[in-house]
Amino acid sequence: MMLPSIENILLFLAAPKMVSTYVLTLAIGILRIAAGRSIARAKPSNPEDRRRLLVSARNLSVLLFFIGLVLIWASELRTFAVSLVAFVAAIILATKEMIMCLSGSLVRTVANTYQIGDRIEIGTARGEVIDITPFATTLIEVGPGPLNHRRTGRGIVFPNSQLLTSTVVNETRLSPFVVHAMTIPIAGDQPWEEHEEMVLSAAREVIAEYEEEVRANSSRLASEAALDAPATEPSILIQMDDPGKVKLVLRYPTNARRKGRTQDAILRGYLKRLRERPAPEKKTANV
């Protein structure tokens, strides 16, 4: 004796519900026909009322049909919904990183975080943006480290999902010029006023090459972004973190992509002035 197959068992179990579905369909069809005939016999005052009643009857019949289907197939629909939720959860877990990358790309687009050519810093990565895809961003590294400002030639690729968890520093977001700072330490017994003047003199000489451009850009930024105009003149702050040592912190405007070259030129000018300054007079001991 052959055992019934699974398909036959499922068909046998579903047979009453199939019959109920057929009866429901037949009943809804009869009710719709009856409603149409009743509306026709009622003879509404204008065609628009008749059309409105027919549409309402049709929509009501469709609604009743779907409610009946849900009541008949409730257990099967519940099982299907659980399976669908499990399937969707598995898909989400399998593609979690991809979804996060797409979300990060959406955040970058909406917030206009950076564009091709911008110099940015995110996490430990710092460089110029050369490629953007929905899943990753490619940089040409600048550095290495925060004190170096030249390209290394190495490429850095990071997933856009980092944009959801990391802070992005865009050095060229509002303007090609930024206010950069560099520290020059001197011994505490040295005349720091002279060193301050030499540093400022070297900085002014270098900045003079693009001073007009900096001023015009500062005025434009203050007008367009409703911000205070950035400083256009070099200035020095004095720090004494350690006893017996003075630090001159020079702040000066520079092109964000030429910070390293500008800093090097200022340091060379300062060292040149330091070498050329008159030697201090030696005190002779009284005999």
In the chain, what are the domain boundaries?
Answer: 11-93, 109-170, 177-276
Contact 240, 246 (CB under 8 A): yes
Task: Provide the 3-class DSSP secondary structure of residue 30.
Answer: helix
CATH, range 177-276: 3.30.70
Residue with the two structure tokens 């628009």: 48
| pLDDT by 10s per residue, the chain, length 287 | 444 554 554 444 456 777 888 888 888 888 888 888 887 777 766 776 777 777 788 888 888 888 888 888 787 778 878 888 888 888 877 788 888 999 999 999 998 889 888 888 998 888 889 999 999 999 998 877 666 777 888 899 999 999 999 999 888 766 677 888 888 888 878 888 889 999 999 999 998 888 888 888 777 776 666 666 666 788 888 888 777 788 899 988 888 778 888 888 999 999 998 888 876 665 554 54
User: CA 126: distance to chain centroid?
Assistant: 15
Contact 185, 238 (CB under 8 A): no
Can you give the pTM of this predicted structure?
0.51
CATH, range 109-170: 2.30.30.60
- The length of the chain is 287
Residue 136's beta-bridge partner residues? 159
Q: How far apart are CA 206 and CA 265, in angstroms?
A: 7
Tell me the angle at which helices 96-111 and 74-94 cross, rounded to the nearest 10 degrees: 70
